Amino acid sequence: MTTAPRRLHLALHPYGVGGPGQHGLWKDPRVAKNASIDIGYYIRQAQAAEHALFDALFIVDSQFINATYPAHYLNRLEPLTLLSAVATHTSRVGLVGTASSTYNSPFNLARRFASLDHISGGRAGWNVVTSFDTGTAGNFGLDEHLDYATRYGRAREFVEVARGLWDSYEDDAFPADVERGVFLDPTKLHALDHEGEHFKVAGPLNLSRSPQGQPVIFQAGVSEEGRDLAARVAEGIYAPGGTLAQAQEYYADIKRRTAAHGRDPEHIKVFIHGSPVVAATDEAARRREREIHEEDKDLGRSLGLLGRSFGAHDFTRYDLDAPFPDVAHLAEKGGRTTATKIIERARTENLTLRQVAEGLNAYKEGPFTGAPETVADALQHWFEAGTLDGVNLAFRTEEELNLFVDGVVPLLQKRGLFRTAYEADTLRGHLGLPVPENRHTAARA
């Protein structure tokens, strides 16, 4: 038996303008000011990703904008309508949309992903989040964001229900036999009758299975509860990355936890975030990286980002040069992991608010910045060091995406690290994930 060589997976994470880490992007004359609501922009990005043989396009989301710091999710398209429009202008690239299990209902969301999965011919993925922004609660009639246990318990049950609904029809449910006059074989259509702690859902869904069986489940939470959810149900992770050592620890931890749940650790693909800056020489790339940093630097924005980890807390009300305020009680509901780290660091290093805020957005040399050879080397190194199965790539402009695609991708291909042609039509196929057998067909066998 020969095993296929382990290959790197690449996804594109297009921001539009005004996205996280791209505060100053709108000032760039090469970027349309309305990119984040221009479907043409996303279609072009998806086509570029497909042209480059990437595994997927990855769309993040929040159902909340903070009036005192609105820039983060200011004016952007809803992920599923966006991806559905992109689907019919591409034929291979996977389409992963973020949606919250906290502020959606399973029947509706399962149906929308199943619909996208059909429209795309089996290329849909769902990044399950529990909503980082605690202020989201206010848009859904709640006084307070649900706590961790409830949100993650709900997430687990939500995915279970969605998968049950996605199996409503067995693959041979539609004989469409004119002679016998039988369109549907009703014995192949199954209600769900789920009654759990958080949800009660009768089913069946009114959508059959797509060519990949079910949408691919991604996850993007870093807390203990988030990792546990991933290990149980996710087939892909959008991971934070960090230093090489941090990424190694995270990667090993996830694979270990997944195996502990009796799952094949190969069936969960860890993508870390990467923002490669590619130029003709290493020096030019570092110069560009510094330039981007200068464009984005903005204390108001850093305070806003900081507030995001503390329930959209308004940090502008404090003295910037006094010690970091006592906001530990605000860290409980959303983004606890990040918030806790911030508080910890402020305490041990005795930092002021200004220092914390500026530190969040301090200039750091990225691991994937340099000439094409350098970036390819770094990716190979991280890949072989057991930090990642894939990288979720973000670029400032279409030009910078092209520098990566034309410069780095061919090197990865020459080294056997990346595909030279699509070998599959579905997202599961690209990621080497099995098509889950329909549970009712399996039970019958």
Ligand X SMILES: Cc1cc2nc3c(=O)[nH]c(=O)nc-3n(C[C@H](O)[C@H](O)[C@H](O)COP(=O)(O)O)c2cc1C
Interface residue list for its own copies (CB under 8 A): 17-18, 26-27, 33-34, 37, 39, 43, 62-65, 67, 70-71, 73-78, 80-82, 84-85, 87-89, 103-105, 107-108, 111-112, 114-116, 118-119, 135, 138-141, 169, 174, 176, 178, 181, 183-184, 186, 189, 191, 199-204, 206-208
**Smaller CB distance to ligand X: residue 135 or 226?**
226
CA distance 243 to 388: 12
Selection from its own copies, ligand X, none that 382 binds (CB < 5 to 8 A by kind) is none
**Smaller CB distance to ligand X: residue 203 or 221?**
221
- For residue 438, the minimal CB distance to its own copies (Å) is 15
Tell the burial category of 154 from Cβ atoms under 10 Å away from its Cβ (0-12, 13-18, 19+).
buried
Q: For residue 396, which of 1, 27, 5 has the smallest C-alpha distance?
A: 27
**Smaller CB distance to its own copies: residue 105 or 281?**
105
- For residue 181, the minimal CB distance to ligand X (Å) is 27
Selection from its own copies, ligand X, none that 132 binds (CB < 5 to 8 A by kind) is ligand X
> Helix 79-87 vs helix 39-51: angle between axes, to the nearest 10 degrees?
60
Q: What is the β-pairing status of strands 200-201 and 194-195?
A: antiparallel
Residues binding ligand X (CB under 6 A) = 60-62, 98, 129-132, 220-223, 225-226, 238, 240, 273, 335-337
- For residue 153, the minimal CB distance to ligand X (Å) is 13
Selection from ligand X, its own copies, none that 5 binds (CB < 5 to 8 A by kind) is none
Selection from ligand X, its own copies, none that 275 binds (CB < 5 to 8 A by kind) is none
H or E stretch covering 128: strand 124-129
The pair of three-digit structure tokens given for residue 318, joined into one six-digit string: 């404090």
Selection from ligand X, its own copies, none that 44 binds (CB < 5 to 8 A by kind) is none
**Smaller CB distance to its own copies: residue 161 or 403?**
161
- For residue 439, the minimal CB distance to its own copies (Å) is 17
Phi then psi for 337, rounded to 5 degrees? -60, -50
CA distance 252 to 197: 31
- For residue 133, the minimal CB distance to ligand X (Å) is 6
Selection from ligand X, its own copies, none that 111 binds (CB < 5 to 8 A by kind) is its own copies
Q: Tokens 């209600």, residue?
A: 191
Selection from ligand X, its own copies, none that 218 binds (CB < 5 to 8 A by kind) is none
- For residue 169, the minimal CB distance to its own copies (Å) is 7
Selection from its own copies, ligand X, none that 104 binds (CB < 5 to 8 A by kind) is its own copies
- For residue 100, the minimal CB distance to its own copies (Å) is 9
CA distance 155 to 109: 12
Q: For residue 166, which of 205, 211, 127, 136 has the smallest C-alpha distance?
A: 205
Selection from ligand X, its own copies, none that 67 binds (CB < 5 to 8 A by kind) is its own copies
Question: Could you say which DSSP state residue 101 is in?
Answer: S
- For residue 284, the minimal CB distance to ligand X (Å) is 28
> Strands, DSSP E only, in 259-305?
269-274, 277-278
CA distance 319 to 104: 39
**Smaller CB distance to its own copies: residue 3 or 108?**
108
329 contacts: CB under 8 Å, gap ≥ 6: none
> Strands, DSSP E only, in 27-84?
56-59
**Smaller CB distance to ligand X: residue 153 or 226?**
226
Q: Are 162 and 181 in contact (CB under 8 A)?
A: no
CA distance 115 to 103: 19
Sign for the CA dihedral angle at 162, 164, 168, 171 comes to positive
Please give the C-alpha separations between residue 139 and each of 62, 65, 74, 328, in angstroms, as whole numbers: 11, 10, 15, 24
- For residue 5, the minimal CB distance to its own copies (Å) is 35
**Smaller CB distance to ligand X: residue 213 or 215?**
215
**Smaller CB distance to ligand X: residue 19 or 106?**
19
